[in-house]
A and B are shown apart, each in its own frame.
Chain A
Amino acid sequence: MENFCRRILALDRRWIFFILLATLIFPIACPLNLEGLKPSTGVKKMYDFIEAMPEGQSVLISFDYDPSSAPELQPMADAVMRHAFRKKLKVVVVGLWVTGVPLQKSTVEKITKEAGAKEGEDYTHLGFKPGNVAVISGMGEDIYATFPTDAKGTATSTIPVMKKLRRLKDFDLVVSISAGTPGLDTWIAYGADKYKFKIGGGATAVQSPVMSPYLQAGQLVGLIPAMRGAAEYEFLIDKPGAGTKGMDAISLGHYLIIALILLGNVAYFYTRTKPAGGVA
């Protein structure tokens, strides 16, 4: 036992990388379809809010992430957009991250095609503008001035879907899918709290604990945390996607991490009181 514990403590970390890789690859190759997904409060609130919006209301979706966070955030961006189009809401897409522009474009193309939405009438893609906080402040005052044209060069004020959407408070909901700053917290501090509009969003796992107090204080209408939140949202809209597929791997990965933490602690405490020298 002592030898085993000392070997565990001296284990080359690359073995752990290898085991973790194997653990994640296994459910990708052979899906386990683990059950028991139950939407958390933040996800449920977000879904309920959009579900309760009448046809024709408007939602601004801000893509505040780039490819490095896409595995976590892309599924929730897809799910929220699908839900919005299913509810026949008017969707306006923007982005605050320069390296996220291609993702915005491909997502808008994919989901609008799938939903049969008409550009200009059902949605518009305003694209990216540099300036972070300045962009949010500008949109709070006058969207036509901040985004004079959409991503394809059409004058924003002439786009039918933008006719009654002059400033941020004209939107019935703003959603930020956020990987950091600028992101959800920027939208709350410089947008929602100042210009008084409803905001919800999704965040990476690292950001989620920081965002949770905003949900509890009622500053967010809903919060989708990480890939798990995306899977829960996909469940709620009955459209399993990348988030749901990833949950098998994430769950197994967590089991492995918990097992390794326990094993490491047991080995540490077992050998702590014993003098070294058990292993050749």
Chain B
Amino acid sequence: MSEVLGFWVAAALTLFMFSFLYKDNPFYRMGENLFVGVTIGYSIVILYFESWLPKVWRVIHPEAGVWFENREWWVLIFPVTLGVLVLTRFIPKWAWMSRWTFAFIVGYASGLAIPATLTTSIQKQAAGTVQPLLTRTPDLEGAEADARGAEAAADEAARKDPTSEDAREARVRAEELRQKAEAARGAGEAAEDAVSVAEWNEARKPVVAKAIVPLVELAAIVEAKAPATSDQISKAKAGQEGAAKEAAAARKSADDEAKTAQELGAAAGKARAEADALWAARGKTKESGDAARAALETARVEARKAAIAGKRAARAGRLALEAEKRSAAVAELAAIILSGAAATDDQAAKALNDRVAATKSALDASQAAIATRIGAWDAASRKEYMLLTFYRDVSALILFVGVLSVLVYFFFSIEHRGPVSKISRLGVWFLMVYFGASYGYTVMGRLSLLYGRMSYLLDASDPKQAWCATPILLVIIIGGLVFLHFKNKGQEPAA
């Protein structure tokens, strides 16, 4: 009953507040006054029990003790006196005494706030603003081009004099750039792999959720330990056939993937052998060096294709194994149901285990989908960090220019003319962008709050839970507003 009453009161007060959207009215004013009164009353009660009783009263007069028995009571003299002085605001003649308390509060708060603000909002924020403006590293294509150029330069130097210091330095430089390009490519490939794994897991999630349904249903029939009905027998047959078909399809897909991976692996091996041979046999001419490098690149691409195909085959193999395992479990359960006899305790216990395992596998698939998607985002961030530093640089630059121009806008010790005026104008633009973003967030916040109340009002419409509080109250409030409209017609001042 108290829950229903709570719904009615909360729904009524919410609707009272919303009635202001129509215009100011007695319902709104009642809600507003109640809100202020209840908030203050509630705060006073809490503060009395949390502050006055334990911090003051029980210190000077313990529950089972004697007045001023606690020797620390004198510590309270100063704060309690300051507190009492605030109350002199009610007596105009003595009201000036309350200023002592406010002076203390202002002094105390300033002493606390100024060092904290200096550290938190100025020192640390300034450190956060001053970031390296240029962190540019080459993107993948640039890194590869640099590495190729360095390789060619190293070859050229070696052709002239393989033992010279120049040739050695060129080789070291080429190796450094090759490693950089490798790292960039590695990050890109890792991101691709992570996305592919995430997509596979996301695709697998609904498949597993659907595939476990016959197993769960048949396990429930067996767990009931009763002779199967004709419906249940048909369900068992259908489930068994479906699971077998699914397992066969998964196995075929796995075999196909494995075959493709094998072929691509063989092609990659061949390409690598050819490239190695070309590299070993490359002469001192530029053309032979380029041809060997091109062959190595082709071999690398082929190897990557083979690696991707290998991973796909492995995943398909895992899916096939899961499907076969499920199919075997379904077949076992179907056999028990089709026998027509009631299941034994052991069979029921095993069915329960199968059902729990199947449900867990669906949950695991759901978790894996989320975890791998997060992994894909991480890998994408790492790739972005390595390859797209341009955006970081631009962000740092924008931040720097923004902070500087806004500071100039608020710096009034010099006249805002000429270049200073232009910079301060730019500062205004940055401020407007900030206000725009804040406005956007504010809209989101207000919509969230409105959604919260709407959602509550819908809950309060429930006939069982809240005895239709919202619609009934809505009718009453609208009726009241219509009544007031006609009653006050002609009395309202002209706009």
Contacts and interface: CB of A to CB of B under 8 A. Distances in A.
Interface string A119-138: 00000000111110100010
Contact of B441 (A38, A226, A235): A226
Contact of B451 (A28, A190, A238): A28
B112 A253 contact: no
B488 interface: no
A17 B447 CA distance: 12
Given A133-B112, A206-B442, A193 B119 contact: yes
Interface in A160-206: 185, 188-190, 193-194, 204-206
B51 A71 contact: no
A130 B125 contact: no
A206 B451 contact: no
Interface residues of B, number: 47
Q: Which 3 pairs, one residue from A and one from B, show the smallest C-beta to C-beta distance?
A: A71-B452, A217-B128, A205-B445
Nearest to A21: B454
Contact of B449 (A71, A217, A219): A71
Interface stretch (A107-115, A208-216, A272-280): A208-216
Contacts of A28: 451, 454-455, 458
A17 B450 CA distance: 11
A166 B449 CA distance: 37
A254 B43 CA distance: 36
B375 to A, nearest CB: 12
A129 B374 contact: no
Interface size class, chain A: 35 or more
Given A238-B370, A250-B451, A98 B46 contact: yes
A148 to B, nearest CB: 8
A228 B441 CA distance: 10
Given A249-B447, A250-B448, A128 B112 contact: no
Contacts of B43: 98-99
Interface of A: 14, 17, 20-21, 24-25, 28-29, 38-39, 44, 68-72, 98-99, 101, 127-131, 133, 137, 148, 185, 188-190, 193-194, 204-206, 208-209, 213-214, 216-219, 225-228, 235-236, 238, 242, 245-246, 249-250, 253-254, 257
B445 to A, nearest CB: 3
Given A205-B445, A227-B448, 10 more contacts: A69-B449, A129-B50, A130-B46, A205-B446, A206-B445, A209-B434, A217-B125, A249-B451, A250-B451, A253-B450
B374 A70 contact: no
Given A98-B42, A130-B47, A188 B21 contact: no
A235 B370 contact: yes
A236 B374 contact: yes
B293 to A, nearest CB: 40
B370 A236 contact: yes
A79 B463 CA distance: 30
A225 to B, nearest CB: 7
B121 A189 contact: yes
Contacts of B262: none
Nearest to B10: A67
B116 A193 contact: yes
Contacts, number: 139
Contact of A193 (B42, B51, B120, B452): B120
A213 B128 contact: yes
B441 A205 contact: yes
A101 B367 contact: no
B447 A193 contact: no
Contacts of B374: 39, 44, 236
20 contacts: A20-B450, A25-B454, A39-B374, A71-B452, A71-B453, A98-B43, A130-B50, A189-B121, A204-B445, A205-B441, A205-B445, A205-B448, A206-B441, A213-B125, A217-B125, A219-B120, A226-B441, A235-B370, A249-B451, A253-B451
B79 to A, nearest CB: 11
A205 B452 CA distance: 14
A189 B117 contact: yes
A204 B370 CA distance: 26
Interface in B118-154: 119-121, 124-125, 127-129
Contacts of A25: 454, 458
B73 interface: no
Contacts of A130: 46-47, 50-51
A190 to B, nearest CB: 6
Contacts of B449: 68-69, 71-72
Contacts of B453: 71
B116 A189 contact: yes
A99 B46 CA distance: 9
Contact of B455 (A17, A72, A133, A246): A246
Interface string B168-192: 0000000000000000000000000
A254 B120 contact: no
Contact of B442 (A38, A205, A242, A245): A205
A71 B377 CA distance: 29
B431 to A, nearest CB: 12
Nearest to B119: A193
B438 interface: yes
Contacts of B125: 213-214, 217
A44 B377 contact: yes
Given A204-B445, A205-B445, A226-B444, A217 B458 contact: no
Interface in B386-434: 434
A129 B50 CA distance: 6
B450 A24 contact: yes
B34 interface: no
A54 B21 CA distance: 51
Contacts of B458: 25, 28-29
A218 B370 contact: no
B443 interface: yes
Contacts of A205: 441-446, 448
